[in-house]
């Protein structure tokens, strides 16, 4: 495991240096987001988080490249499993929610390395196997402007699943139709949910998040309530020494008994806890607030 981590972490240092020190990639955006999100921190503390973020960003890129290059086919899946790059801490929670409800909405943000989510079935190291199969997974995405880059990212994100019956890579504008078509089928829907909604996204005014007035996308919560799904939060924490711990935290057992607003408030409470615990483990380089 340690040798594997050294392979992609050596590239991480280069990408961190290139983006942070040479290209100054979205440098101002990062500092603006950090200063507004942590108003009580001194400039020196913010600069330290700024530096840690670019190291983390470099790791994301290096890990994603390693993931796409090494994870196709059965041999790739075994290699991914041996690497321990992501470890599920409590698969029994997801299993219980899936068996009891059969429809689960798994919500995550841009913490950890979201580009590794396609390796989902290779991250369980417990004695309890996952209750779902690849054909039960639907991963949502927002289509990129470049068709070539969009295809590349699709192959990368779903590489370990494409050797199976997986056919659930769904553009976000098509997910409602997909969910209706599969309303009687067991499914786990993986949604990346962020503030600063896209033009076509359903919106919710959250109030204060990270000390800022926040408007967020709530399409995942709306869909979960309409279909009475269980809702779980994906905690994607960075481990000391490299790699990630993936933890499933229940938000709602039956979303039909709740409201999209209540689900979003719980989701953002958990996300704020995670950001405060690991301030650099978040994608600060993009606009998250208007």
Considering only 25-29, 136-140, 153-157, which range has the smallest mean pLDDT? 153-157
| Residue predicted with more confidence, 245 or 171 | 245
3-state SS record for 45-58: HHHHHHHHHHHHHH
Mean pLDDT of 130-152: 77
Looking at residue 164, its pLDDT comes to 55
The closest of 189, 221, 174, 193 to 120, measured between CA atoms, is: 189
pTM metric for this prediction: 0.90
Q: Are strands 103-108 and 230-238 parallel, antiparallel or unpaired?
A: parallel
DSSP for 28-91?
HHHHHHHHHH-TTS-HHHHHHHHHHHHHHHHHHHHHHHHHHHH-SHHHHHHHHHHHTSEEES-H
pLDDT digit string, tens, across residues 51-110: 999 999 999 988 888 887 776 667 777 888 899 999 999 999 999 999 999 999 999 999
1 falls in which pLDDT band (50, 70, 90)? very low
DSSP for 103-121?
EEEEEE-SSS-GGGGGGGG
The closest of 169, 214, 170, 192 to 105, measured between CA atoms, is: 192
Q: Are strands 169-171 and 137-141 parallel, antiparallel or unpaired?
A: parallel
96 and 138 Cβ atoms separated by less than 8 Å:
no
| Residue 122 confidence (pLDDT) above 60 | yes
| Residue predicted with more confidence, 234 or 150 | 234
Backbone angles phi, psi at 133, to 5 degrees: -120, 165
């Amino acid at each position: 495991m340690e040798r594997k981590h050294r392979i992609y972490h050596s590239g991480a240092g280069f990408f961190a240096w290139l983006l942070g020190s040479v290209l100054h990639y979205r440098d101002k955006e990062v500092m603006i987001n950090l200063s507004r999100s942590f108003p009580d921190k001194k400039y020196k503390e913010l600069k330290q988080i700024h530096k840690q973020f670019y190291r983390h960003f470099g790791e994301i890129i290096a890990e994603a490249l390693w993931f796409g290059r090494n994870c196709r086919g059965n041999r790739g899946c075994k290699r991914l499993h041996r690497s321990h790059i992501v470890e599920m801490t409590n698969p029994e929670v997801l299993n219980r929610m899936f068996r009891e409800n059969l429809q689960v909405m798994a919500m995550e943000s841009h913490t950890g390395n979201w580009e590794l989510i396609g390796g989902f079935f290779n991250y369980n190291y417990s004695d309890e196997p996952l209750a779902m199969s690849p054909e039960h997974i639907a991963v949502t995405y927002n289509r990129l402007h470049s068709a070539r880059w969009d295809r590349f990212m699709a192959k990368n994100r779903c590489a370990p699943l494409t050797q199976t019956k997986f056919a659930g890579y769904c553009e976000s504008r098509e997910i409602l139709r997909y969910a209706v078509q599969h309303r009687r089928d067991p499914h786990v829907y993986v949604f990346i949910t962020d503030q600063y909604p896209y033009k076509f996204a359903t919106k919710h005014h959250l109030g204060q998040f990270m000390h800022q007035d926040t408007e967020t996308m709530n399409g995942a919560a709306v869909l979960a309530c309409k279909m009475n799904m269980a809702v779980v939060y994906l905690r994607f924490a960075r481990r000391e020494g490299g790699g990630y711990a993936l933890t499933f935290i229940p938000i709602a057992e039956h979303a039909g008994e709740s409201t999209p607003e209540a689900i979003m408030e719980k989701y953002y409470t958990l996300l704020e806890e995670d950001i405060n615990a690991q301030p650099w483990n978040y994608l600060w380089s993009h606009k998250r607030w208007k």
